[in-house]
Structures are given as C-alpha cells and as structure tokens.
Structure 1
C-alpha cells in the first residue's frame, strides 16, 4: 500500500503513475538506457510539436536529479542530435573525464582545505608574505 501511495504522490524516487500514463498515451517507445539505469523514451507516431518533432522523456532510476543525465543523452533529449547515443555514440576524446552527477549536499561533495565542514583541527596560520606597512618607509 505504501509503495502505491509513493508511486501516486512522489516523483523524486521514480516515475509516478501519471508519468507512466503519459508515456502510454503518447505511445512512447523505449530508445535506450544509460549506465546509471535511467531510461529514455521518444513519442511514437506523429510528432506533437508544430514542426513534427517528437517529445522525449527520461525516467530516472532512483532519485530524480537533472545532473544525472550524461552529456550524450542530454544532447538527444534537447533535440541537439537526431539519433540517440545507442544508434550513433559520440566520439570520446582522450581528455574527457567520465560523467559525474552533482555531488553538492552529499558526503562526496568537494570540501576545500580550511572549509568549516572538514572535520579536522584548524591549522596554524602560516605567513608566507610580509604585510606592507606605510610606516616602514
């Protein structure tokens, strides 16, 4: 019963019943899945956009966070590329790093040295310069 209520009222853990109904009504077809388990759909039949374009959706696997969509799928979702990455994968350059979602607010968030959120004792102040004083002339 709790699972059904979560499917009806919460959208941040998985797709709701409303999303499932919208995909069914649009005759959406599954286009692909990324390495995180997010699934990507495209509207079936005639496109509903004025130019004939088709709507595209992502159904998140787990927490719904926009930064979890990899760049290649982001380009497809926003009609930058016509073909999904499953059909025409982008060329990976040797300097590119793997995609990471936004880690802000998680234990894996970046915390620079000296941040108040770092659980270490404060380091003694180091003077690596001599302050200017107008009286020193």
Structure 2
C-alpha cells in the first residue's frame, strides 16, 4: 500500500488515480491492460488532456501504436471507435529490454564477453626508443 501512495514507477499513485478518475472519463483499455482517460473539460488551449494508467510497471513502451497516436492527439478518435489498420509488415510489440539480461549485446561489447576488432585508428602508445 505504501508503494501506491509514494511511488509512481511501480504503478499509478492513489492521488493521481483519484484525480484522473474524478475529472476524466474512461475511454478504453488496450490488450496489455492499460486504461486510457480523457478530461471532460477542455484546457485553456481548447484540447482535452489524455492519460494512461499503466497496468503494473509504468513502462511507456507498453503503449500500442494506435493508443500512442491518440494520446498525442495525432488522431482524434480513440482505437475503440476507429482502430488503426494493421499492415502485414508490422510486427508485434516487444518490450524495452535495456538493462535486463535479455538486452542486445553487440559483437565485441564488454558485456557480451567478446573482443573488439582491430582498427586503423587504434591507439598505439609512444615509446622513446622508437
């Protein structure tokens, strides 16, 4: 319970959840369980603020492309009313693996255990004998 009161990275805080639900309307939920909301009243600029309440860890890479477009006002209609058409070359979402054991380790990286290829611009120490 203390996690929900004080920390935002492990999910939405109680205060933020209360505030969003108080002044916004639920628009939809995506396949990952994230819930999306839009303010009932427009802001000074005339736009309605849009929010996402992440299910579990607050990881922005878990927002699908169609919902991302709606959150950033690229499209006006949410995917619940007008789904984004999926192309045959598009792939399924993969989470951001940076900082995990599954992160990409390029050939020759120190964390990958390899050695880097020699290069023409490699440093050679100067010695006075040469």
CA contact (8 A) 1:32 1:39 kept: yes
Structure 1 residue 111, shift from structure 2 partner: 1.4
SS in 1 for 2:110: coil
Correspondence for 1:50 among 38, 45, 49 = 45
Counterpart-to-counterpart distance in 2, 1:72 and 1:49: 26
How far does the alpha carbon of each residue in 1:24-60 deviate from its partner, in whole angstroms, 9 at most, with x for none? 331x12111122211111112x322432x21110011
Counterpart-to-counterpart distance in 2, 1:11 and 1:92: 32
SS in 1 for 2:28: strand
RMSD: 2.0
Note the 1:81-120 alignment, pairs <5 A: 81-118=75-112
How far does the alpha carbon of each residue in 1:108-130 deviate from its partner, in whole angstroms, 9 at most, with x for none? 211123322235xx57x7xxxxx
Q: How many residues align?
A: 117
What TM-score, normalized by structure 2, do the two folds share?
0.79
Correspondence for 1:65 among 59, 63, 83 = 59
CA contact (8 A) 1:49 1:55 kept: no
Question: Does structure 1 residue 6 correspond to structure 2 residue 8?
Answer: no
Could you list the runs of 5+ residues in structure 1 that have no partner in the other structure? 126-137
Counterpart-to-counterpart distance in 2, 1:81 and 1:20: 25
Which 4+ stretches in 1 moved above 4 angstroms? none
Question: Does structure 1 residue 36 correspond to structure 2 residue 32?
Answer: yes
> Could you say which residue in structure 1 is the equivalent of 2:127?
none
What TM-score, normalized by structure 1, do the two folds share?
0.75
Could you list the runs of 5+ residues in structure 2 that have no partner in the other structure? 118-130
